[in-house]
Amino acid sequence: MATINANEVALGIESFGDDDAPLVLLVGGTTMLSWPDALCERLATHGRRVVRYDLRDSGESTTVDPAAPTYTLRDLAADAVALVDALGGVPAHLAGIGVGGMVAQVAALDHPAAFSALTLVGTRAVAPGKPDADLPDHDPTMMKRLFAHPMPDWTDRAAVAEFAATRAEIRGDDPVAARAIAARIWDRTPGTAPATQLANQLNMVFARLNCAPRWRERLPEIEIPTLVVHGRRDPFFPVGNGAAIAREISGARLLVLEEASTAIPDAAAGEVAEAMVTVG
C-alpha cells in the first residue's frame, strides 16, 4: 500500500498487477476494502493494472472531520480524475461500488476524456436520501433492524468487527467476510482518527455529503462502454436502481448477481472480472 497526492489531498492506494498494464481504478464505498481481494486479483490476471483507493476521511487518505465533510461529491469525482492522471493511466476503466458508484457516475459525466469504460456496482443514480418515485427505496424492515442495533465501542477491534458482521447478516451479506474486512478497516484507521472515521467507512454518515446538483438526468450523456452490476438480493439499493442506470446509459450491460446482496461475493469475482474485461 502507498499514498499518492492528488487534487491537493493524500489518497491511500493499493495496486495489483503490472504497472504498465491498462489501468482499472476502483472507487470504494469510502474504504478501498469495499472491493474484494479476489476480484482485484482476478482482474490483474486478465492483464489489468488494478488500483483501489480510500476516499477522503477513510483509511490512509486525508482525514479531517468525517462527520462534517467540507468537500462535495464533485470534489470526490475530481479526486478520481487527478489520481488517474497521477498514476499515468489516462484513459482508465473507472469502477465504483455503493456510494463510490455515485462518485464514478459524476466523474464520468464531468470528466469524460479521463475514462475509457465504466463499471457501477450496487449503486443508484440519485444522492443519499429519499430516491425518485420510480426508484425502489431501502427495504424498511432491513433499515429498522439496522438502526435498532446499538453502536459498538469504536476503540474495541472485536466489537467493531462483530458489529459489522451483524449488519452484514441483516443486509444479506456474508457475516464472516464482513467481520474480517471490518477488522482490517480497524487496523488501517489511524489511531488519532475520531470514531466517526470508522462509522464513515461503514457508510453511516455519507448522507451528510453535499451531492448537489442532481446528475441522473445527465446519464444519457455517458458514451463510454458501461457495465452495471447489482445483487438480486440487495435490500439497501434494490436491483431496480441498477436496472434504471442501465436503461438510461445507452448500450449499458446489466449483470445481475442472483445470489448477491450489497457486497460482491468471492464466488462471483470471476464472473464480474470477466464482464469488466469484456466491457473495456
pLDDT digits (tens, 9 = 90+) for 115-135: 999 999 999 999 988 899 999
Spans of the chain, pLDDT less than 50: none
The confidence score (pLDDT) of residue 239 equals 98
- Structural domains in the chain plus CATH codes: 2-134+206-279 (3.40.50.1820)
End-to-end CA, the chain: 25
Residue that is written with C-alpha cell 465533510 in the block: 69
Instruction: For the beta carbon of residue 183, count every other beta carbon within 10 angstroms.
Output: 17
Which residues are within 8 A (CB) of 46 and not within 5 positions of it... i.e. 6 or more apart?
273, 274, 277
Distance CA 80, CA 99 (A): 14
Distance CA 254, CA 242 (A): 7
The per-residue pLDDT for range 221-265, each reduced to its tens digit, is 999 999 999 999 999 999 999 999 999 999 999 999 999 999 999
pTM, entire model: 0.96
The confidence score (pLDDT) of residue 66 equals 81
